[in-house]
Structure 1
């Protein structure tokens, strides 16, 4: 078994094409060289069991000697290695503790946790203190009973959504492939997914029945995300029913009313488990219970998330209309599926959490504030997709001038300049050393290269920001440069925010793609708000016609045209409150239309 640091050392060595020095590893992991040596002994032992050698040489460094094919094979299985051959960190242990409580009826003691996780009782007690923080967004409480143990208390749907979230948080792309292969019988020899041990037998029951059903159905009868949702939710449903918990309604489903694949699958599985087929369990598995999502004000939620991130980050994201449009469209598509828990797996999640940790944490907090109260789970895979929208906005709108353009000044303009350039750019992402020169060339090159910052080995007179460093920059020098770069970036953002405020009104006239996107999204927003405001008055057959009319209305407005059918207003009388309600919705979206347009919309009401 490896500890977390030893595992990361293994990853570093596997992903490094050449050798790496002990001192560099010590600096990177912020521990002594002695600690690195201890961890390397564990890594060496782990590699030896796989007939791979770890070499070290004082003037060359440390490296792994194996074929490229074998190296890639191990890299491909790193998630499984981390899960099986690495001591669990606190976050992983806390997740396991919650899962134990979700599958059991009785209270669980700290001693039981320590036995199951192979840690001391004190470690378990420290881990338990962290559970409350993880449960908070789900509106679930950890009940403590002295001398008896711990138990989760909360709404059954919330508990099941947390259950599903923990499963998805631990899922890898490789395991998704295994799941789909098992269900479709694509590869009968492939080993199954590494799921939580307590639910694996029940999962296998569902998987086996689904595979049989798929064998008799045409290919692509279900989307991958639907397969994952049905598999996991059906497994969770049986697990919770085993523990004595249901969705609180015991009405038996009428199979004739639901002639679909899910009911057929449930019938087989529940019959095997000797459980009745409850309608509420069907609604949970299919997501029908999540229809409340259709009532969410997506416009409001989108604006709230963007405004929150803008305030915390100090960047005017709320001034970027394309970010709003793209994020609104993204959330609309997700919520219109009628699902509370999102099953997509984002392969960039870990990289985004590492490279954009502050932005990721800020967006996670925003989602917990504005989505979690609506009983919408926000797994990291879902958050990372939102993070990508903000990154695109920053790169295209708020970081248009690129990195901080830097001039490196040394005594001759040559010497160790290339070494300095490589080291500084490797350690500071937002910097670009555009030139190195001698003191005689500074003024001329600053003008030619439009330099933002000067790094110099000796004091010079200049009006530009200046950082003086040792001939071979020390760690302290690197930190000084980093602070100066961050300061300059903040100033650039302030300049660009002011520029954006003065030019944002003209953006639409310069970008036809943006105009068409604006029309579509504004039409969608208005249609959603009107249909919500008149839910009972709009017949099902007229909803699509109303949506088309509203889209054409928005299109007319953008091209300075108005609805010209005035004759309708004289033949009918309409409720003034209804007219005012529609007018207010249009006013919110800065859509000024005459009364005939509003009367035309009222035609679609019952």
Structure 2
């Protein structure tokens, strides 16, 4: 089975719904006709291995597994075969990752002709892929050096090269199990040596009471393997003498010396003193301290002054810009403080951190990630260093946990029932609501229309009324029938579960642009912002604000979807500007065909998490996104959303 068939099979396995040939064609960059031929090949391969692919009219293809054991055995055998043979990249994303890996590990110049033969694609394809490679490497301050008759190679500081190697040579989404790391590291040294290195690290951190997270241990393990290969090639990390002397005073330097001493015996290579210092930075930069349940004032007393002030500055900035209500969360103050201390050590020595969860954090906690970006900007100003999205992802985890805690504290929605046909009817509505929503809704009372002015609106989230209410009230009114029907309950449920907002409130016909022919991210953003400028909905600097956010971390969330937006709210109301494309484009290192420019009202107390939740329901559904992308008119687009 070639990589294209495997990619199709992976998509079918991962989806609960049928997938159209158009969707699969976009994923693997071929025509729908090729997909239909590929499906025939897959049907033949799977028919004797416990699974079939059904073609569902109007919906697409769906995988059905009839014999779990037989199907799993087939996949396991295929995966083993793939490991045993040399991998040839086929998809654009695979080629880009392959090229990055080749460039980072190459000791000499690479030629286009050689790569073309090696990857079985044309030189022009390689050149196109290299443009994406160049953009990705620029994030690490790594350049591409070309030399006539020799080819090209990467150029950058040794520290930056190692960061890139740890990101791209080793799949950050790979499981942490030793066997997985051994598979990936086996090209650097023998598997038995890797086992010994792993054991040495665990023994030393245990003997010296150094607490590291699982991710930190893996980072250190990978670093030593990378350092071994680089030292053998004659490359070394550079540190200023003053910095090295400071590190040598730390306890962690002594532990690093012991790790290196034992490792040298296994690998039969001599680590320079500066390499020992670099390993010590790993230990310094990943310290963890047990959290304690103390007051905010006690936290200030025990936490280093610089760290505490940075933590408070971050939380106050987040509260000012995003109004999340988490400024005084004690667990968050402690968590961020404990994170900032080692982070400051890392950035003092120009060292980043790997985050294997970054894609999942961006997809599942988008609002927390945006708050993490705000925190990262404060940290940047304090440290005078660029904070990358790996660090932001870890900050987002702390912030996301605080947001979840606040949700638990806010309690159920509270409503008042207004009914003109007597107490009996009002009670009927009350008990129906309590039966439907349970602890999610508190009915605080019932009243008649003429007593509306006596309601305590500061303690009421919304009103359920069986009579029309024409006067303006400070809370939302949901008008229902005296005998609640399904539609009435749906309207109330929308408010209880989604804070009373509907995605359709934010989508206007004049701001939906379908089946556009743009070929770059820049073209899309320029067009969308121009449309907003024409309609006088944004200021002249709006595009700069959107690009500023993109520079921190690309807003492509997978599934062909990007949600660009400024870091802070810029507009007078909240609305979405939507664009779909005829063909996918590269948005950083992901393919995108559905773009939703998110515009948020300034100084608003709107629940942005609700907005992201609503968008999430749209963009997480592969079949839905593909239907939206195919829509040619606004009505067709909206009907797809409604259905």
Partners of 2:76 and 2:411 in 1: how far apart?
A: 38
Of the candidates 472, 480, 483, which is equivalent to residue 444 of structure 1?
A: 480
Aligned to 1:342: 353
Partners of 2:598 and 2:411 in 1: how far apart?
A: 12
Q: State the secondary structure of the residue aligned to 1:195.
A: helix
Partners of 1:375 and 1:80 in 2: how far apart?
A: 44
Aligned to 1:178: 178
Of the candidates 160, 175, 197, which is equivalent to residue 210 of structure 1?
A: 197
Partners of 2:147 and 2:279 in 1: how far apart?
A: 33
The 1:238/1:67 distance shift into structure 2, 3 A limit, reads same
Aligned to 1:275: 269
Measured after TM superposition, the shift of residue 107 of structure 1 is 2.4
Partners of 1:178 and 1:443 in 2: how far apart?
A: 60
Q: State the secondary structure of the residue aligned to 1:150.
A: strand
The reply on whether 1:195 has 2:171 as its aligned counterpart is no
Q: Which has the larger radius of gyration?
A: 1
Q: State the secondary structure of the residue aligned to 2:101.
A: helix
Partners of 1:374 and 1:265 in 2: how far apart?
A: 32
Measured after TM superposition, the shift of residue 36 of structure 1 is 4.0
Q: Give CA-to-partner distance per residue, 1:15-59, whole Å, 9 cap, x none.
A: 456x737589679979986454234235446646x8343243667
Of the candidates 18, 21, 25, which is equivalent to residue 20 of structure 1?
A: 18
Of the candidates 292, 314, 339, which is equivalent to residue 333 of structure 1?
A: 339
Q: State the secondary structure of the residue aligned to 1:170.
A: coil
The 1:397/1:52 distance shift into structure 2, 3 A limit, reads same
Q: Give CA-to-partner distance per residue, 1:375-407, whole Å, 9 cap, x none.
A: 677465x5444344555666777998999x9xx
The 1:235/1:365 distance shift into structure 2, 3 A limit, reads farther
Partners of 2:119 and 2:133 in 1: how far apart?
A: 15
Partners of 1:299 and 1:136 in 2: how far apart?
A: 33
The reply on whether 1:241 has 2:235 as its aligned counterpart is no
Aligned to 1:148: 150
Q: State the secondary structure of the residue aligned to 1:119.
A: coil
Tell me if structure 1 keeps the 8 A contact 2:308–2:337.
Answer: no
Q: What does residue range 419-434 of structure 1 map to in structure 2 within 5 Å?
A: none
Partners of 2:305 and 2:100 in 1: how far apart?
A: 29
Of the candidates 224, 229, 253, which is equivalent to residue 219 of structure 2?
A: 229
The reply on whether 1:284 has 2:285 as its aligned counterpart is no
Q: What does residue range 519-558 of structure 1 map to in structure 2 within 5 Å?
A: none
Partners of 1:111 and 1:28 in 2: how far apart?
A: 28
| 111-120 vs 58-67, which moves further | 58-67
Partners of 1:376 and 1:102 in 2: how far apart?
A: 22
The reply on whether 1:98 has 2:100 as its aligned counterpart is yes
Q: State the secondary structure of the residue aligned to 1:194.
A: helix
Of the candidates 260, 263, 275, which is equivalent to residue 266 of structure 1?
A: 260
Q: State the secondary structure of the residue aligned to 2:269.
A: coil
Partners of 1:306 and 1:258 in 2: how far apart?
A: 31
Tell me if structure 2 keeps the 8 A contact 1:141–1:152.
Answer: yes
Partners of 2:253 and 2:396 in 1: how far apart?
A: 40
Q: Give CA-to-partner distance per residue, 1:202-243, whole Å, 9 cap, x none.
A: 263641432675899898987544542332111111211122
Q: Give CA-to-partner distance per residue, 1:389-446, whole Å, 9 cap, x none.
A: 555666777998999x9xxxxxxxxxxxxxxxxxxxxxxxxxxxxx9xxxxxx95349
Q: State the secondary structure of the residue aligned to 1:138.
A: coil
Tell me if structure 2 keeps the 8 A contact 1:310–1:317.
Answer: yes
Measured after TM superposition, the shift of residue 247 of structure 1 is 2.5
Once superposed, what is the RMSD of the aligned Cα atoms? 6.2
Partners of 1:342 and 1:121 in 2: how far apart?
A: 35
Partners of 2:77 and 2:311 in 1: how far apart?
A: 38
Q: State the secondary structure of the residue aligned to 2:189.
A: helix
The 1:79/1:263 distance shift into structure 2, 3 A limit, reads farther
Q: Report the TM-score, using the length of structure 1 for normalisation.
A: 0.50
Measured after TM superposition, the shift of residue 244 of structure 1 is 1.6
Partners of 2:142 and 2:378 in 1: how far apart?
A: 15
Of the candidates 34, 51, 54, which is equivalent to residue 52 of structure 2?
A: 54
Measured after TM superposition, the shift of residue 356 of structure 1 is 6.0
Partners of 1:487 and 1:379 in 2: how far apart?
A: 20
Q: Note the residue ranges of structure 1 that are not aligned, 5 or more in a row.
A: 180-190, 406-434, 436-441, 455-463, 470-474, 477-481, 499-606
Partners of 1:213 and 1:200 in 2: how far apart?
A: 20
Q: Report the TM-score, using the length of structure 2 for normalisation.
A: 0.48
Q: Give CA-to-partner distance per residue, 1:254-307, whole Å, 9 cap, x none.
A: 9xx999665444335435655334211111123269679999965687688779
Aligned to 1:68: 68
Q: What does residue range 305-316 of structure 1 map to in structure 2 within 5 Å?
A: 316=322
Measured after TM superposition, the shift of residue 67 of structure 1 is 3.0
Q: Give CA-to-partner distance per residue, 1:357-387, whole Å, 9 cap, x none.
A: 798589569859965986677465x544434
Partners of 1:121 and 1:177 in 2: how far apart?
A: 38
Q: State the secondary structure of the residue aligned to 1:276.
A: coil
Flag the structure with more relative contact order, 1 or 2, with Cα contacts below 8 A and sequence separation at least 6: 2
Tell me if structure 1 keeps the 8 A contact 2:332–2:402.
Answer: no
Partners of 2:327 and 2:188 in 1: how far apart?
A: 50
Tell me if structure 2 keeps the 8 A contact 1:360–1:384.
Answer: yes
Partners of 1:75 and 1:335 in 2: how far apart?
A: 45
The 1:35/1:243 distance shift into structure 2, 3 A limit, reads same
Partners of 2:405 and 2:252 in 1: how far apart?
A: 48
The 1:89/1:131 distance shift into structure 2, 3 A limit, reads same
Tell me if structure 1 keeps the 8 A contact 2:140–2:160.
Answer: yes
The 1:32/1:153 distance shift into structure 2, 3 A limit, reads closer
Structure 1 or 2: more helix by fraction:
1
Q: What does residue range 376-415 of structure 1 map to in structure 2 within 5 Å?
A: 378=388, 380=390, 382-389=391-398, 391=400
Measured after TM superposition, the shift of residue 248 of structure 1 is 4.4
